[in-house]
Structure 1
Amino acid sequence: MPVITGTTSTRLAGLIRTTALTAGVPATELDAISPSVNPAVLADDQLRVPTEWAWRAWELIDATAGPGSGLLATAAAGHGGLHVWDYLFTCAPTLAESVRIAIGLRGVVTDPGVDWVVEVDGRLLTIRETTAIEPDGVLPPIQEFMLSIMLRRVREATGQRLVPVRVAFSHSATHRYRHLVDEFGTTRIDFGAPCAEITFLDAGDLPTGTDPYLGAMVRKYAELLLTTSRPAPDWRTTLHDTVIGALRDGDTSLEEAARRLQISPRTLQRRLYELGTSWRQEVESVRRDNAIQLMRHTDLPVQSVAARLGYTDARTLRRAIRRWSGQGVTDFRRDLRDTDSIGSPGSSGIRR
């Protein structure tokens, strides 16, 4: 099974974004994170977003909310909030078996580069993070979230209010202690441990009440999701897709583009500036590329090409072609068809 590294699920990213907004992080600060993530992609379960984005968002959450900030995300993650992964905790007859499967398929919700194991030692069931890839600054909120989610999911799976006999964090932020006692229901909480982990007594053999056929279906779906997921398009690709949609619908204003991207016009202007371009230049670039394709590969008359590119009339397109290449339409089309390299500056005469 191919492993997607360096990315996390849109479900988790969406939860992190919602938590940040609830904590009081301004949307403009989330939009300014690099690498950027278009909020619109967070509705697509088959896309993945950069893990680095999640880390930067966690930094903003912790800086704004302080101790217990990781628990804010847990509170917002109702059962099913992390999609199919939540249901893996009841996909096998016993809790230990189900947790092993959920941990094995952790990539459907988080970065699979984070290594977790499930250990059964006599009466003890331990869920342990053996390899942390997160920067030290975001370990406290992320580990709070991860371990508290584990607690809630095993309680939901068994229908019992399980209380861990030990909770351990690898960070040393002991000032977060009070919130954690309330969440985990125990004072047996250690900091500065070799690994983050949570341990339960006499829980591994507890039944989950699963339907074996339904459990197998959930597991197969999670495996399929892992194999078919793909990285979300980068900002430039998303921008060009937005331009194409704007041209198709006949509204190429910056304000409409910002609405499509679910960001403010000011944020869009800032991102364009960071890319060394402008909205007008991007619209022109997409029009030029599409004009090259249409003039080279179709016999559409100039008026039809102009309409497809969102121009008001053929004269506007003729002026644009003259601006791009210094040629008239006839010469422009002939030169495109005479060259094997679409848009090659040395052969088509197009000015870049």
Structure 2
Amino acid sequence: MLSPVIDGTVSAQVTRLIRTTALQAGVAPAELIRLPGLDPELLGDDLMRVPVATALRIWELIHARGVPNAGLRITAAANMGSLHVWDYLFTTGPTLRDSLTAAFDLHAAVTDPAVGFQIDDDGRLLTVRYTGIEPEPLLAATEEFALSLLLRRIREATGLPLVPVRVAFGHRARGHHRHLIDAFDTDRVDFGAPHTEFTLLDAGSLPTGTDPHLGGIIRRHAELTIASAKSAPSWRDKLHAAMIDALIHDQVSLDVVAHRLAMSPRTLQRRLGEQGTSWREEVEAVRHSHATALLRDTDLSVQSVAARLGYTDARALRRAFHRWTGRSPDAFRREHAAAEG
């Protein structure tokens, strides 16, 4: 079963590879850190998932800097194990056909399930196909990355320098393409094709796995990785966590929260503006959600809840809670208790 956080996300491993290329291309770290899910600490967690929109934005930043052959560069950096358990799925079946089936069935371990991977094997020709979800300006780099990575993993799995008899891309040709001829070791490279794919001759039955029990363990681990995936918290999630922590310690101020987020108060105010909000609005939002949770989940008196939210007395909380919900804290509690009963 897919984790509910998988849709619309890519793995931390894929994001790390793209992010590294962006930094090497001269993209400023400050441009990346503000994107959802790109906190370096979060990217160190192999179960973390990053929004597809973030990954596409990194590709856009790379594209804007005119990095040549960006997709091939990322593949060159993607050593075995870079993509965690998914890399090892290419050796979990007795034949290449079987191993590719396992890797493609579990491709959600690294990317959005909306991305498509297919194989077509007639016993003679083995075609590996990729269907991406990227917008047109990014197609060239992402398609080249996907196909070159798949060919690299196939070569590593079989231990053979397999050469495609044909490579096809959905994007249009961009001048010379010597880099693709060199990468795929063939001059049969087509553009503007109906499908992004490459075809190998007499490859489907090549051996890739030697221990069926180990293969089963790896597949089960990939399934657990997908099921255990975690959404990367947004910048606002981290802001609210810092604000709640400050509330608990009765220190909810712009200066204190900015310090907890390792930024200056001025930077925090600028970030709030970029998010279309303000310090006052976020304090109200956090107090509202935290008040609701305390009234719902604890037996604390209204006075105690008010104190935990930084209000001077219960009357201030009652006024605020009525403004948020149109009800008093006591009425909210009674309604919640009735609904639970």
Scaled by the length of structure 1, what TM-score is found? 0.77
Q: Deviations over 1:263-285 (max 9, x none)?
A: 88776443311333334653565
Q: 1:279 to 1:183 in 2, by over 3 A?
A: farther
Q: Deviations over 1:136-188 (max 9, x none)?
A: 11111101110111111111111222222221111013336122222222222
SS in 2 for 1:198: strand
Q: Aligned pair 1:155/2:148, yes or no?
A: no
Residue in structure 1 matching 2:329, options 321, 330, 336: 336
- 1:273 aligned partner: 273
Where in structure 2 are the equivalents of 1:137-176 lying within 5 Å?
137-175=137-175
- 1:13 aligned partner: 15
- 2:61 aligned partner: 60
- 2:136 aligned partner: 136
Q: Deviations over 1:68-118 (max 9, x none)?
A: 011222122221111111010001111121011111211111111122211
SS in 1 for 2:127: strand
Give distance in 2, aligned partners of 1:118 and 1:264: 52
Aligned-residue offset at 1:326: 6.2
- 1:318 aligned partner: 312
Where in structure 2 are the equivalents of 1:244-263 lying within 5 Å?
244-245=244-245, 253-259=256-262
Q: Which amino acid aligns with 2:62?
A: I
- 1:222 aligned partner: 222
- 2:46 aligned partner: 45
More displaced 10-residue stretch of structure 1: 200-209 or 52-61: 200-209
Q: Which amino acid aligns with 1:218?
A: I
Q: 1:180 to 1:268 in 2, by over 3 A?
A: farther
- 1:331 aligned partner: none
* Identical-pair percentage: 50
Aligned-residue CA RMSD (Å): 3.3
Contact 2:10 2:51 in 1 (8 A): yes
SS in 2 for 1:318: coil
Aligned-residue offset at 1:56: 1.9
- 1:22 aligned partner: 24
More displaced 10-residue stretch of structure 1: 46-55 or 140-149: 46-55
Give distance in 2, aligned partners of 1:16 and 1:207: 31
Q: Which runs of 5+ in 1 are unaligned?
A: 312-316, 328-334, 343-352
SS in 1 for 2:119: strand
Give distance in 2, aligned partners of 1:326 and 1:151: 64
- 1:213 aligned partner: 213
Contact 2:165 2:200 in 1 (8 A): yes
Q: 1:268 to 1:182 in 2, by over 3 A?
A: farther
More displaced 10-residue stretch of structure 1: 240-249 or 49-58: 240-249
- 2:339 aligned partner: none
Where in structure 2 are the equivalents of 1:44-123 lying within 5 Å?
44-123=45-124
Q: Which amino acid aligns with 1:45?
A: D
SS in 1 for 2:126: strand
Give distance in 2, aligned partners of 1:87 and 1:264: 44
Aligned-residue offset at 1:19: 1.9
- 2:184 aligned partner: 184
Q: 1:265 to 1:100 in 2, by over 3 A?
A: farther
Give distance in 2, aligned partners of 1:266 and 1:165: 58
Give distance in 2, aligned partners of 1:271 and 1:50: 20
Scaled by the length of structure 2, what TM-score is found? 0.80
Give distance in 2, aligned partners of 1:38 and 1:232: 8
Give distance in 1, aligned partners of 2:303 and 2:136: 59
- 1:330 aligned partner: none
Q: Which runs of 5+ in 2 are unaligned?
A: 321-327, 336-341
Contact 2:92 2:209 in 1 (8 A): no
Give distance in 1, aligned partners of 2:116 and 2:73: 23
Q: Deviations over 1:34-76 (max 9, x none)?
A: xx33424323333432212212211111221433011222122
Give distance in 1, aligned partners of 2:142 and 2:52: 12
